[in-house]
Chains A and B, each alone.
Chain A
Amino acid sequence: AQTVTQSQPEMSVQEAETVTLSCTYDTSESDYYLFWYKQPPSRQMILVIRQEAYKQQNATENRFSVNFQKAAKSFSLKISDSQLGDAAMYFCAYRGNTPLVFGKGTRLSVIA
């Protein structure tokens, strides 16, 4: 079964600085998708960024980018120019031939 591991339960970053959240996964599939979701205190699950495994180029969405290392099964999220509104739980997720599998999350605090 596929598993997703987020080894950092909590992280903090100064406003305007850069932070990287780690994620590793385990799979025997060759074709799959990886996602980062943000969950603010409102509890809403917001899709931040998505990466197709067959694409070598790392996905980027404005201040959010990923470092996808397929051989290492690593999928980290980099947030640049952090803003107070970035404070939330961040979940890494994997989807292959099974429904979406989530990691346990990383709580990100942004310090003004």
Chain B
Amino acid sequence: NAGVMQNPRHLVRRRGQEARLRCSPMKGHSHVYWYRQLPEEGLKFMVYLQKENIIDESGMPKERFSAEFPKEGPSILRIQQVVRGDSAAYFCASSPSSYNSPLHFGNGTRLTVT
């Protein structure tokens, strides 16, 4: 049973470009969460999605960031017009149900904006 798969592992973008981060949840998991980790910091919640629905996006910046979890395919975190401050590790996690299930994390995508 494969774990949560994130790709790419590393992503380098120049300022102003778009970044697309992909996450395939564990088999049987329908809940996906995205977190951002700045250097020497804990993980900060960004967005919580179920298939085709955004449940909680209270941690998402209002501009340039968007997320989706289509009926078919992986969840995508999209960052438009990246800036240096977007450089961070972005983690995806999944769970089979709502809040009482532990989250299973992917290995993260490290985004570097040059």
Contact = CB atoms under 8 A, between A and B. Distances in A.
Interface of A: 4, 33, 35, 37, 42-45, 47, 50, 91, 95-105
Interface in B63-114: 89, 91, 93, 99-100, 102-105, 107-108, 110
Interface of B: 33, 35, 41-45, 48, 56, 89, 91, 93, 99-100, 102-105, 107-108, 110
Contacts, number: 53
A93 B43 CA distance: 10
A99 to B, nearest CB: 5
Nearest to B103: A100
B89 A91 contact: no
Contact of A100 (B33, B41, B110): B33
Given A43-B107, A99-B33, A100-B33, A50 B43 contact: no
Contact of B45 (A45, A101, A103): A101
Contacts of A50: 102
Nearest to A1: B58
B40 to A, nearest CB: 8
Contact of A47 (B42, B45, B102): B102
